[in-house]
A and B are shown apart, each in its own frame.
Chain A
Amino acid sequence: MSMTNRVLLGLSTVGMLALCWMLMTIPREAAQGFVQKIFYVHVPVAWVAFLAFGVTGYNGLRYLMTRDLKHDRIAAASAEVGVVFITLVLITGPLWAKPIWGIYWTWDLRLTTSFILWLLYLAYLILRRSVGDRDRRAQLSAVVGLISFLDVPIVYFANRVKASQHPAPVVGGGEDSGLAPEFLATLLIGVFAFTVTYVLLLRLRHQQSRIEDQIEELHLQRS
């Protein structure tokens, strides 16, 4: 493992341990009790998914501009890690919703657009597996990655523009929003821990993609 990856692994571990410590020591929330603590992983994991899809879109655009396959590899690696995180959002959300709303799922705007986001990036990954030609795959993926990213701001603003079953935003959500200081600190530690974990996973997946490309190249040379 490279020095950078070791540093990232160390930061990720420290961040996760700090998050666990905060979760054990912060008080229970007044209205929801214990179960509100899902918030400290649900929101950071959603933030990381948005970041991952942003990285995919940006690198897709860079690929279309430069035709450098390095950008395609980063975009694909980020999409895969992003799908892992958005899947976790779609699992932890219902696990929080059931004890609070009484139901696991409802087709409101925030939840539906999040589900569509998951489907879009799943389609992106399936597309990559189904196109054989490397350049064509990179080109198509870049376009799909860019178009799919349009759903990210829709998800983000969904409960800001329309009343929703999903709670109103508590950070940057206007006059009635806000978090108790210790809750905000825990949320920020969660964001830090999961972001560093994402960067580490992205680097590892990208290194793997480079080996996959080398193998593909050798196969092409042989045939």
Chain B
Amino acid sequence: MNRKSRLYVLFALVLGVLVLAVAPMAQAQTDDDASTPYAATDDEQWRPKENFWWLFAAYGVIWVALLGYVGRMASKQQQLERELRHLQRES
């Protein structure tokens, strides 16, 4: 693994450690969750099922778009490699 690759891996690991370090700190952040804009609820009566489809659509779009982009990139990569091999053979 070259120096640059090691830097990328180091960056990813630092980010991971940061997440793991901040998460427990967040536990002690506040006891008064109800006063925060986004607070958890245990109210089982609150079941807006119609909203589930918006959630499904948002997550669906994310995964489809990312997988589509990766798929497009993979097919372009194959095409470019073919073209490069062809040009190298000719020159």
Interface residues of A (CB under 8 A from B): 2-4, 7-8, 11, 26-30, 32-39, 41-42, 45, 84, 87-88, 91-92, 95-96, 98-99, 167-168, 170, 176-185, 188-189, 191-192, 195-197, 199, 201, 203-205, 207-208, 211-212, 214-215, 218-219, 221-222
Contact = CB atoms under 8 A, between A and B. Distances in A.
Nearest to B30: A178
Interface of B: 1, 5, 8-9, 11-12, 15-16, 18-19, 22-23, 26-30, 33-34, 36-43, 46-48, 50-52, 54-55, 57-59, 61-62, 65-66, 69-70, 73, 76-77, 80-81, 83-84, 87-88, 90-91
Given A96-B58, A98-B54, A199 B12 contact: yes
Contacts of B5: 2-4
Contacts of A36: 38
Given A170-B38, A208-B76, A219-B87, A8 B8 contact: yes
Given A192-B15, A218-B88, A34 B38 contact: no
Contacts, number: 172
Given A192-B15, A205-B73, A207-B77, 7 more contacts: A30-B41, A42-B58, A99-B48, A177-B37, A178-B38, A182-B40, A215-B83
A125 B77 CA distance: 19
Contacts of A167: 37
Given A4-B8, A179-B38, A211-B81, A99 B51 contact: yes
Contacts of A98: 54
A65 to B, nearest CB: 19
Contacts of A91: 58, 61, 65
A195 B15 contact: yes
Contact of B54 (A35, A87, A180, A185): A35
Contact of B87 (A34, A199, A218): A218
A180 B65 CA distance: 30
B22 A188 contact: yes
Given A181-B29, A192-B16, A196-B15, A92 B61 contact: yes
A31 to B, nearest CB: 8
A168 B37 CA distance: 9
B58 A29 contact: no
Contacts of A170: 36-38
Contact of B8 (A180, A191, A199): A199
Nearest to A28: B41
B60 to A, nearest CB: 10
Contact of A95 (B37, B43, B54): B54
B40 A30 contact: yes
B34 to A, nearest CB: 7
A90 B48 CA distance: 24
A178 B27 contact: no
**The 5 residue pairs across chains A and B that have the minimum distance between CB atoms:** A4-B5, A30-B41, A35-B51, A185-B23, A27-B40
